[in-house]
Amino acid sequence: MSGAERRVRHADMLNHVKRQTAAQWARAVAAACEVTAVGVEREGVPHCTPPLDARRCLAAYHGSANGTRLFALDFDGTLSPIARSPEDAKPTQEVLDVLTELCKDDRNRVVVISGRDQATLHKWLGGIPRLGLSAEHGCFVRFPEASDWVDLATEAAHVRAGSVSAAVDHVDFGDLDAGTRSRAASVATNASSSIDHGPDTWQAEVLAVFDWYTERTPGSTVEAKRHSVTWHYRRCDPVFGAFQARECQTHLKSAVLARWGLALLPGKKNLEVRPANVNKGEIVARLLARYPDVRFVLCAGDCVTDLDMFRRLRATYGDPAGTTPLATPADANAPKVFTVNIGPRTKRTVADWHLPSPAALGDVLRMLAGITDRDDDDGLDGMIKAKVVAADRGTLAMKAKAPVIVGAVPPRGARRHKGMEE
């Protein structure tokens, strides 16, 4: 290397060192904070759901003794913590005990509404007398007083096929071009085929997509149920697993879902495909129709599939009476509804309350069942608030461990995606 070239390179490095000073780094951090502050001011402060008011919930529970008290509870992440392996999320003896105690009261109707299959729910919870169960996110239901399962997915498929066929029958194909006629006929054929041959007609196609990604994503697994298929990537590398999940979603949306009338549910480290015309909200609607004298509702869940339950209750009762501080005389006999999201209070949800963990929900259920060790609900309120504070501190501690790199860019080939729930 010539002396002239060495001098040029040295000058470049010297200029870089002079520019990239501690003061310049501090200015960059301050500028990033200012951008964040402006964004918050423009979009509003972060969403915060208040912790469940245990005293109000207990008063509403005891005040509804002249009617039915409905409990609609998710399982994974709500009654039982999320486990690394789905088979490890068995209910604890405490959960079994509190569900059993609640079901002993003839005025209570307790239903566990889960994404699990029928066999698993029956194995884990089927021994509790008068406990209602719903499997595969609303595809099946066994009501509290019944012993047989009802296949709601097949019922809904028959209704869909009939509606599509009726619509096609009223179309004047003579006014349509050849391509439109072909697409309409294909829709009718798929609708009727899903009835004639069951879910196998679409599951094979979805399984082929999931198997393709399973082979290319170490640690991922596929779970096939009667009316749904789930791809799990909890055991995968977090970054690569999330990337593959986004790619898989794109593939399914573009090639499979619309043709078969399916819904894609991104969950916690999983993707589930199921019929679009069944969901947990429909189970809640059936329960409300089955028990018209409902005076108290406690509905709890932790993931996107549970939003259908919250929305259904809000659509039925409007602004829930259980969350209104000031009630008018007309509201005196209205059902007291408590929709509870399990998880961080900053998580966006349509629920009116939140609890930080399944353990906190267990405390509330034991209080309502009368088997808590605490003598007063004020003590439980304090305990819930303490758990909320502890959960917030845990979240902040996790964020503090992550290094802050100002001006960093993703590696070549990486893509940024928004809205994907991990």
Question: Max CA-CA distance within the chain?
Answer: 96
268 and 333 within one domain: no
pTM: 0.69
In this predicted model, what pLDDT tens digit does every residue of 2-16 receive, in sequence order?
888 888 878 877 876
259 and 284 within one domain: no
360 and 268 within one domain: no
Question: What's 272's domain CATH number?
Answer: 3.30.70.1020
DSSP letter at 300 equals E
What backbone torsions phi and psi does residue 294 show, to the nearest 5 degrees?
-60, 130
- What percent of the chain clears pLDDT 70, i.e. is strictly above it? 71
151, part of any domain: no
386 and 283 within one domain: yes
The reported pLDDT for the residue numbered 405 is 38
Last residue of a domain, one of 277, 294, 328: 277
Residue 57, pLDDT above cutoff 60: yes
The reported pLDDT for the residue numbered 208 is 93
Residue 306, pLDDT above cutoff 90: yes
Angle at 272 between CA 269 and CA 277, to 5 degrees: 145
The reported pLDDT for the residue numbered 154 is 84
Helix (H, G, I), strand (E, B) or coil at 337: strand
Q: In total, how many domains does the chain have?
A: 2
65 and 131 within one domain: yes
333 and 258 within one domain: no
Nearby residues of 159 by Cβ (< 8 Å), 6 or more positions away: 277
The reported pLDDT for the residue numbered 380 is 61
In this predicted model, what pLDDT tens digit does every residue of 109-157 receive, in sequence order?
999 999 999 999 999 999 999 999 999 999 999 999 898 999 998 887 6
32/46: higher pLDDT: 32
Residue 400, pLDDT above cutoff 50: no
385 and 319 within one domain: yes
Q: Which structural domain, as residue segments, surrounds residue 135?
A: 54-139+279-399
311, part of any domain: yes
72, part of any domain: yes
Residue 328, pLDDT above cutoff 60: no
Tokens of 181: 């006629």
The reported pLDDT for the residue numbered 22 is 84
129 and 86 within one domain: yes
Please provide the average confidence, as pLDDT, over all residues in the chain: 79
Nearby residues of 320 by Cβ (< 8 Å), 6 or more positions away: 313, 314, 336, 337, 338, 339, 352
Question: What's 326's domain CATH number?
Answer: 3.40.50.1000
37, part of any domain: no
13, part of any domain: no
Using an 8 Å Cβ cutoff, are 232 and 270 in contact? yes
Closest CA to 51 of 379, 393, 343, 366: 343
308 and 206 within one domain: no
pLDDT band at 388 (very low <50, low <70, confident <90, very high): low
- Give the residue-averaged pLDDT of 339-348: 89
393 and 285 within one domain: yes
pLDDT band at 200 (very low <50, low <70, confident <90, very high): low
262 and 327 within one domain: no
DSSP letter at 138 equals G
